[in-house]
């Protein structure tokens, strides 16, 4: 029998690695590292990874919590090392200095990776603030063949919405998108993305917006209206808005959007993705049991077509963690319950999730548990 992908996981916390670095370096190795925001200013641990795996493609980002198997951690770095046997790897990055650059950055990533033949999947990590996730995905989809699976997420900074970072080969930056392409017929990449929120209140029309900035709902200032619903929680904006995402309905289908920032001067709100004018919007709130069942459903959706060593990259929205609180680990336990026994799971809490719906092209999601499951045939 031909050898298959070899997977190992590590954790760095309090200045110590959980185990010695596995001997898995190579040009067909991918290293994923998801770390607390503080590691952007003190990236010594990430530099150690780069030294240990000089031939590998190493990518990562800051988080709103690190996922380590069935545990959620803070002030740590969770790492997965996957050495493929029959899958080619290519890494790349593109500058992203402001939200207006999002589409161009996505297009650059796509062009660089699609230039090599037999591209099967792309895993993308982007800065988490001052980005338009919808435009980033649009740029990716425009330049990639439709059969390429695109997944990933937007970096996090806890509930602060301040400074995020992405990482390539141990070097961190706040102004980029990084990505890894997987090539060849042996690699298997499946995905699942599920929510679990309930809508409430009246449905309102988006009467004024531009890109991912919402100005008016039903001809009323969006921020003022939002504050009415939040009540005393309004003092905690933008973080408190994570508890009440926005459900959109329109020609684009149904999407969920979460708040990244607010502007008191214009009474506007900045979201992780587009808020098209003319869409219908409703506030959402948490249903605890449905959030956890949604995570399990994401695992079921990503289950097919895997055998042998399997890696699950779990990316969940920071809003889900804030709502679930002490029950947060239940959702990452639920994903592993339905995946193949022995699956290695790492990931992070994000400001946005990138994945197709059940089928089709990639889209930006908010307030979901999104899984990317990888193995080699």
Interval 141-176: pLDDT, tens: 999 999 999 999 999 999 888 899 999 999 999 999
Cα(117)–Cα(25) distance, integer angstroms = 24
User: What pLDDT, on a 0 to 100 scale, did the predictor assign at position 75?
Assistant: 96
- Non-local CB neighbours of 236 within 8 Å, separated by 6+ positions: none
User: What pLDDT, on a 0 to 100 scale, did the predictor assign at position 76?
Assistant: 97
Cα(46)–Cα(25) distance, integer angstroms = 15
User: What pLDDT, on a 0 to 100 scale, did the predictor assign at position 238?
Assistant: 82
How far from 206 is each of 70, 187, 216, 281, 328, CA to CA, in Å? 39, 42, 6, 7, 32
Mind listing the pLDDT tens digit for each residue in 321-370? 988 888 899 999 988 888 888 899 999 999 999 998 766 789 998 888 89
Cα(97)–Cα(297) distance, integer angstroms = 36
User: What pLDDT, on a 0 to 100 scale, did the predictor assign at position 5?
Assistant: 92
Res 1 pLDDT > 50: no
Q: What are phi and psi of 134, to 5 degrees?
A: -65, -45
User: What pLDDT, on a 0 to 100 scale, did the predictor assign at position 253?
Assistant: 56
Over range 54-61, report the average pLDDT.
98
In the β-sheet with 66-68, what is the strand arrangement from edge to edge? 71-73, 66-68, 344-350, 311-317, 369-376, 187-194
Tokens 């198997």 belong to 69
Mind listing the pLDDT tens digit for each residue in 296-335? 877 777 776 777 889 999 999 998 898 888 889 999 998 8
Q: What is the CATH T-level fold of the domain 197-285, as seen in this structure? A: Elongation Factor Tu (Ef-tu); domain 3 (2.40.30)
Nearest of 63, 41, 351 to residue 172 by alpha carbon: 41
Over range 22-26, report the average pLDDT.
97
* Helices marked H in 117-179: 133-143
Length of the chain, in residues: 377
User: What pLDDT, on a 0 to 100 scale, did the predictor assign at position 303?
Assistant: 72
Res 237 pLDDT > 90: no
User: What pLDDT, on a 0 to 100 scale, did the predictor assign at position 150?
Assistant: 97
CA dihedral 33, 36, 40, 41 (to 10 degrees): -140
Paired tokens of 76: 């740590």
| 3 confidence band (pLDDT: 50, 70, 90) | low
Res 29 pLDDT > 70: yes
Contact 201, 190 (CB under 8 A): no
What are the domain boundaries of the chain? 6-194+289-376, 197-285
3-class SS at 193? strand
User: What pLDDT, on a 0 to 100 scale, did the predictor assign at position 377?
Assistant: 85
Mind listing the pLDDT tens digit for each residue in 91-142? 999 999 999 999 999 999 999 999 999 999 999 999 999 999 999 999 999 9
Percent share of the chain, pLDDT over 70: 97
Helix (H) or strand (E) holding 334: helix 328-338
Over range 76-102, report the average pLDDT.
97
Our CA angle for 114, 116, 122, nearest 5°, is: 45
How are beta strands 6-13 and 16-17 bridged, if at all? Answer: antiparallel
Over range 275-281, report the average pLDDT.
93
Contact 367, 258 (CB under 8 A): yes
Contact 220, 210 (CB under 8 A): no
Report the chain's mean pLDDT, rounded to a whole number. Answer: 91
Cα(93)–Cα(85) distance, integer angstroms = 24
Across 128-158, b (16+ Cβ under 10 Å) vs e yields bbbbbbbbbbbbbbebbeeebbbbbbbbbbb
Over range 252-270, report the average pLDDT.
85
- For the residues of 101-118, what is the DSSP string, one character each? GHHHHHHHHHHHHHTSSS
User: What pLDDT, on a 0 to 100 scale, did the predictor assign at position 252?
Assistant: 54
User: What pLDDT, on a 0 to 100 scale, did the predictor assign at position 251?
Assistant: 57
């Amino acid at each position: 029998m031909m050898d298959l992908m070899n997977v190992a996981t590590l954790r760095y916390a309090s200045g110590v690695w959980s185990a010695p670095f596995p001997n898995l370096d190579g040009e067909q190795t991918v290293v994923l590292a998801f770390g607390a925001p503080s590691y952007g200013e003190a990236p010594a641990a990430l530099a150690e990874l780069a030294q240990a795996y000089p031939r590998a493609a190493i990518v990562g980002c800051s988080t709103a919590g690190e996922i380590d198997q069935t545990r959620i951690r803070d002030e740590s770095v969770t790492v997965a090392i996957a050495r493929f046997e029959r899958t080619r790897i290519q890494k790349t990055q593109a500058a992203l200095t402001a939200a207006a650059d999002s589409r161009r950055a996505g297009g650059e990533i796509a062009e660089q990776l699609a230039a090599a033949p037999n591209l099967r999947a792309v895993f993308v990590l982007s800065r988490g603030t001052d980005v338009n996730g919808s435009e980033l995905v649009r740029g990716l989809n425009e330049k990639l063949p439709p059969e390429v699976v695109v997944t990933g997420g937007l970096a996090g900074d806890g509930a602060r919405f301040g400074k995020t970072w992405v990482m390539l080969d141990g070097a961190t930056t706040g102004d980029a998108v990084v990505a890894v392409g997987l090539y060849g017929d042996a690699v298997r990449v499946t995905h699942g993305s599920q929510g679990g929120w309930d809508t409430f209140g009246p449905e309102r029309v988006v009467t004024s917006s531009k890109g991912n900035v919402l100005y008016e709902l039903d001809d009323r200032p969006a921020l003022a209206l939002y504050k009415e619903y939040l009540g005393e929680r309004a003092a905690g904006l933008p973080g408190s808005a994570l508890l009440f995402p926005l459900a959109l309905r329109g020609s684009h289908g149904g999407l969920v959007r979460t708040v990244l920032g607010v502007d008191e001067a214009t009474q506007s709100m900045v979201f992780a993705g587009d808020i098209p004018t003319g869409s219908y919007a409703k506030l959402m709130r948490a249903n605890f049991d449905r959030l956890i069942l949604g995570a399990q459903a994401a695992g079921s959706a990503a289950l097919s077509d895997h055998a042998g060593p399997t890696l699950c990259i779990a990316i969940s929205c920071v809003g889900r963690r804030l709502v679930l609180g002490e029950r947060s680990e239940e959702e990452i336990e639920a994903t592993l319950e339905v995946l193949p026994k022995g699956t290695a799971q790492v990931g992070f809490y994000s400001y946005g999730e990138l994945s197709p719906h059940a089928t089709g092209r990639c889209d930006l999601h908010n307030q979901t548990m999104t899984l990317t499951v990888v193995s080699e045939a």
